[in-house]
Structure 1
Amino acid sequence: MDRLLAERLHAETLKYLAGIRRDRQHEARRAVDDWLDRLADEMRNEPATRASVERFKRNLFADERLRAWAGRAWV
């Protein structure tokens, strides 16, 4: 039963993502675009947002697991 549920969830997720890919006006796509526009604006105009993004970036690149994954991906 768990496998059947996982397979169905996987298939439905793929269908949903394919719908987003096909439809440039999809609600989810518009929501992400709007969020990215707001983030870009805040990064230009809000020092606190800029600092927060820089901290996130430093922490992300300092993560050993990410660096190991990137090394494997590169190979």
Structure 2
Amino acid sequence: MEYNTIEAFLKLKRYIPSLASALILFVFVYVALRSGIPDFYAAAILMAAVVFFLTRLIVELVVLLADMLLPK
């Protein structure tokens, strides 16, 4: 039985939190530039940090479950 999605996720586990937080940062900065509301810059930094933490947590949980449940 092959687990291609989980294997690809495990290969990219170092980059997923950084990419997710960079995407959130880009979206918030874009919205701040388009709307002219400077509060979005602070929100961008805060949300990027929160997304980085949460995606890192999810990645660690997937790694833990993959190590315990998937055959070697």
- TM-score, with length taken from structure 2: 0.35
- TM-score, with length taken from structure 1: 0.34
Relative CO higher for 1 or 2, CA cutoff 8 Å, sep ≥ 6? 2
Which structure carries more helix by proportion?
A: 1
